[in-house]
Amino acid sequence: MASQTSVTRRRLLIGLGSGLGLLGGGGAYVYWSLQGDSGGYTAPDSHPVVTTRGLLNTAEGPAFETSGTWAFDDASAVFLFVHGFSTDAERARDNAYTAQVALDGTRPTPVIAYSWESDVEWEQAKTNAAANSAPLAQWLVEWAETDGRPVHLLAHSLGARVTGETLRVLAEQGATDALASVSLLGGAIPYDSVIQGGRYGDAIGAADAPVSNFYSHNDKVLSWVYRASDRTHAVGHAGTRDAGPLPDGYQDVSVSDLVTDHYSYFEPGEGCLARVVAEIE
């Protein structure tokens, strides 16, 4: 696990760090700030997963596939975890399981992993995130039709881009009731994309679900690396910064007192999922 974490951090520096040279001596500070992790939990093979890996560019066939055990007989709702950048299939499942472990102490609920191809270079990952909007929207609509239990979506890092684009698709389809709540955790999207008139603002306002942005001033990946790469502030670092009027149902929630780094939002015992649950109940 230590070796895997090290490789992932190096890839993040390469993928997001095209502008790190501008930071001069701050580059070393950023490097050490990237050493956080989500606890190193390993999911069982039975953990439920929805995946689009290897399926988006096929001419025919399903847009997504599922695996794992889907026996949620005692659950009144489910969570769906959308991971962020530089996450392979194994870590996507591990991240969702980690969130489930964290929820076990507050609101025991199944957490389904949404696994998408983010383990590529940064610009391609952003393109892939947008391309996942249609299949995720399709899964949510089909879930509502076949199961019907409320879905609470947790979107970490670049998963916020997947989520924002999906809200746009759902709004276009008139399926604004497909989600019970949306929680952005360290969202790696521009701070002004969620306001009224921003790329995702109208779709957020149309959703029949609260959208909460959990941000941390301690998130150096967003405050340094994301800002250097995308030349803007991330909503997951300091919220909307009074960029403009907020859509109905949206709120910024500071979790700087709980979250110490970019990878700790959903970490059991040290993250902010207890506060997420408090906001959606």
Where do the domains of the chain lie? 48-55+75-280
pLDDT of the residue at 176: 97
pLDDT of the residue at 38: 73
pLDDT of the residue at 40: 87
Architecture category of domain 48-55+75-280 in CATH: 3-Layer(aba) Sandwich (3.40)
pLDDT of the residue at 18: 36
pLDDT of the residue at 226: 93
Which value, in Å, is the radius of gyration of the alpha carbons in the chain? 17
Per-residue pLDDT of the chain (281 residues; tens, 9 = 90+): 333 444 444 444 444 433 343 334 445 444 544 556 778 899 999 999 999 999 987 666 679 999 999 999 889 999 999 999 999 999 999 999 999 999 998 899 999 999 999 999 999 999 999 999 999 999 999 999 999 999 999 999 999 999 999 999 999 999 999 999 999 999 999 999 999 999 999 999 999 999 999 999 999 999 999 999 999 999 999 999 999 999 999 999 999 999 999 999 999 988 999 999 999 98
